[in-house]
Amino acid sequence: MTGRITSDCAALVHLSPFGMHKPSRFGRTKLRYVFTIEDAHLTCNASILQPAVPGVQPLLSLVWKSSKKTAYGGSVPALLSSGDRAAEWTRPVSLACSVYQTTRSGQQKFDSRNSELTLKVVGAAGSKRKLTGSLDLAPYASFQRQTNNVTVPLAHGAGTLHLTLSSMWLKRAAGLGKQESRLCSTF
């Protein structure tokens, strides 16, 4: 029984170039991905994070948005005496979203999927309370698990956010039950 299900899955995979997803009538295929930020750190001018109250470190919180999806990376204290790193987020932050694949003239490409990284600063004397940067997720979408080192410039030259971005395609065999889908998940 297991061999039959596996061979059925293999037939489905080879029949569809879209990985078990059928394209819409507009030539676009909706694919679900999970993007994860790991080991993020902020590099910026020290004047942005000068404490408003001496001896009390400012806090920075990380918010990652793409369309209606939002992920919170938590708050961390500013690293005032840590060289070029102003803040570090070591806890992974994941964002699940759809990326559309378009086929034109036989070429497959991912449509742009913009996201915004926002750093909110609390307790700093500087005038900048919100630092933002944009990141297009489409170039990092891949059918195989992929990890990239990414540098995101923040608006108005406020600094840069350095991070490790990984992406993973969430696939589920269309038209199969949970048991069969689980057996096909190795493809």
Query: Mapped to the 3 state alphabet, what secondary structure does 139-153 carry?
Result: HHCCCCCEEEEEEEE
pLDDT band at 174 (very low <50, low <70, confident <90, very high): very low
* 3-state secondary structure (DSSP) of residue 7: helix
How many residues would you count in the chain?
Answer: 187
Chain-wide mean pLDDT for the chain?
80
Closest CA to 34 of 152, 150, 141, 148: 141
All residues at 6 or more sequence positions from 50 whose CB lies less than 8 Å from its CB, including other chains:
58, 124, 125, 126
Residue bearing the bigger pLDDT, 18 or 166: 166
| Residue 123 burial (10 A CB sphere; 0-12, 13-18, 19+) | middle
Other residues' Cβ atoms within 10 Å of the Cβ of residue 177: 10
Characterize the bridge pairing of strands 93-104 and 159-170. Answer: unpaired
Query: 26-63, pLDDT tens digit by residue?
Result: 678 999 999 999 999 999 988 888 888 888 889 999 99
pLDDT at 49: 86
Place of tokens 């500013």: 78
Residue bearing the bigger pLDDT, 172 or 76: 76
pTM for the structure as a whole? 0.76
Dig out the tokens for 55 from the structure.
Answer: 């001896």
Identify the H or E element spanning 47.
Answer: none
Does pLDDT of 7 surpass 60? no
Query: 67-99, pLDDT tens digit by residue?
Result: 999 999 999 999 877 668 899 999 999 999 999
At the fourth CATH level, the homologous superfamily of domain 26-170 is C2 domain (2.60.40.150)
pLDDT at 28: 86
User: For the chain, what are the domain ranges?
Assistant: 1-20+172-187, 26-170
Q: How confident is the model over 143-163, as a mean pLDDT?
A: 94
Query: 93-124, pLDDT tens digit by residue?
Result: 999 999 999 887 778 889 999 999 999 999 98
Share of the chain above pLDDT 90, in %: 52
Range of weakest confidence among 71-85, 128-142, 164-178: 164-178
According to DSSP, the residues that pair with 114 across neighbouring strands are 136
Closest CA to 9 of 171, 134, 170: 171
